[in-house]
Structure 1
Amino acid sequence: MLSSSQARLLEGRVAIVTGSSQGIGKAIAIGLAQAGATVLVTGTNPGRTKSVAEEVAQLTGQETDYFIGDLSKDENVTAMVEKVIHKWDKIDILVNNAGGGVILPFLEQTPETLKTTIDRNLWTMLWSCYRVLPYMVKQNYGRIINIGADSVRNGLWDHAAYNAAKGGVHAIVSGLGREFAKNNITANVIAPPAVEGELLDEIRKRDSELVDRYINIIPKGRGAYPEEVADAVVFLASDHATFITGQVISVNGGSTMQ
């Protein structure tokens, strides 16, 4: 939950949060709306995506809308962006949260699971940046926030393929941050460890010992809460973070340290 000092930080801003029909993305959509932003919720499940958009509006009093589609496909991203521009005339904040890799030992991956992991995590982000940035350049303002993964740094078990995708999600911000600084656009990554919620619970049901290993490397002794990630997104999206760009910021309970 946002503190009173964070409320209305984003008054008048328009945000897209990809992959926001559940988990971290849903928490981010709520957090941005609580801070005053108008939010587009996206997902691939029509009923759930529409329901979350309505829930965000009811909880926060902010205007919301939703888009349903596979954002690894350029035509869907183009349609998403056009919907936002048609309705709200601008895009101030892009949160690239869509993801969901297939977590398996590397040699148990198949060509299909490898492609799925890259599509869901890397192509969704690339197409979204590519289609949103022209509008941010035109308005001379923008905040791009990618949701990465602490596993890129700590080499978490069964995450090699996932890290190949998330490594690109991390790496792009140094280039975007430098290239678009002159346009008052920042680009950063927030990298969480294991995050408490439905997805971690699914892995826990399949292999509780593996999840214990994930948690045991976090000195805080638990996974991140979605709201903790959302609070960091709100900060980077706000004018308190105007001089932060090209950075990977770990919100990880100490699982890796510098």
Structure 2
Amino acid sequence: MSAAEPPVSGESRHSATRHSRGRLAGQVAIVTGGATGIGLGIVRRLLDDGASVLVAALGPEELKRAVGGLPDTAGFAGDLAVPGEADRMVAHALGEFGRLDILVNNAGGGVIRPTLEHTEETLRATIDNNLWTTIRATLAALPPMVERGYGRIVNIGAESVRNGLVDHAIYNAAKGGVHAMCTGLAREFAHAGITVNTVAPSYVQTPEITEALAAGRFGEQYLNVLERATELIPMARPGSVADVAGAVAYLAGPDAGFVTGQAISVNGGSSMG
């Protein structure tokens, strides 16, 4: 069995509703931070490609809004930075679907502000939301993947780690840890048929950002960050949710069986090489 061919497992309570076609037909994914923005776009793309998806979110209300109209999904609400929550999430996915093939570590969100304006609370929140969630979810997902001899782990990193975007130093410390962990895991678990990669987006204008811009909810400092981020992109536009979801779908699928330990930039050219 190669890393490009997931082994077949038994039926699950959701198996009757799964898509019978698509690149990811019959596979099961977990998408953390999957109820909004980039995460929800990834969920929809993986569903379109035939996977069943456990959508993980912080709170039950946003989770209900996200999965209410989506077929082939289950939900999990909890703070993945808290010890034990990621284990509950993976156990829930296995209970609902009977297997786990793909983990997308999308949960994140940092406090973007000048470095010397950070507080102990914002420092901890930025590291917890981005790095600890990824560590704990990965540690929980690896044992069932190792047991089956197959897995795809895709982390959502950040272009700002490479281009030094203004006011992102602490956020970059967290996302840089995500980037760095990827290579070590990729080498360590290659023998088990598991690939580990990172998708590093530049500024992505999510529906939530579009709505906030229209409502004038961003302050001058944050608007300046968005302007600087766009200026760094030769294509002169923010990325889209679909841009990121497409890269994730590639790394989660059979065509990427020989791709591991990589950071794939989805950045409109803001850094190159």
Fold conserved (TM > 0.5)? yes
Cα 1:201–1:163 shift into 2, 3 Å: farther
Instruction: Say whether 1:166 aligns with 2:179.
Output: no
Looking at structure 1, the residues matched to 38 and 230 of structure 2 have their Cα atoms a distance apart, in angstroms, of 18
The answer to whether the 8 Å contact 1:194/1:200 transfers is no
Deviates more, 1:211-220 or 1:14-23: 211-220
Find the partner of 1:24 among 38, 41, 47: 38
Deviation at 1:139, TM superposition (A): 0.3
Match of 1:193 in 2: 202
Deviation at 1:74, TM superposition (A): 2.1
Equivalent runs, 1:47-196 vs 2, <5 Å:
47-57=61-71, 63-196=72-205
Equivalent runs, 1:37-48 vs 2, <5 Å:
37-48=51-62
- 2:85 is matched by which residue type in structure 1? N
The answer to whether the 8 Å contact 1:190/1:250 transfers is yes
Match of 1:3 in 2: none
Moved beyond 3 Å, runs of 4+: 199-204
Instruction: Give me the TM-score of the superposition, normalised by structure 2.
Output: 0.88
Q: What secondary structure is seen at the aligned counterpart in 2 of 1:158?
A: coil
Match of 1:12 in 2: 26
Cα 1:194–1:47 shift into 2, 3 Å: same
Structure 2: runs of 5 or more not aligned: 1-20
Deviates more, 1:9-18 or 1:78-87: 78-87
Instruction: Say whether 1:241 aligns with 2:252.
Output: no
Deviation at 1:202, TM superposition (A): 4.6
Deviation at 1:210, TM superposition (A): 2.8
Q: Name the larger-Rg structure.
A: 2
Equivalent runs, 1:179-258 vs 2, <5 Å:
179-197=188-206, 198-199=208-209, 202=212, 205-207=218-220, 208-258=223-273
- 1:20 is matched by which residue type in structure 2? G
Question: Residues 116-153 of structure 1, C-alpha deviation per residue, up to 9 Å, x if partnerless?
Answer: 00000000000001011000000000000000000000
Deviation at 1:55, TM superposition (A): 2.9
Looking at structure 1, the residues matched to 97 and 269 of structure 2 have their Cα atoms a distance apart, in angstroms, of 39
Cα 1:201–1:195 shift into 2, 3 Å: farther
Give the total of aligned pairs: 247
Structure 1: runs of 5 or more not aligned: 1-6, 58-62
Question: Residues 97-124 of structure 1, C-alpha deviation per residue, up to 9 Å, x if partnerless?
Answer: 0000000000000011000000000000
Task: Provide the alpha-carbon RMSD of the alignment.
Answer: 1.3
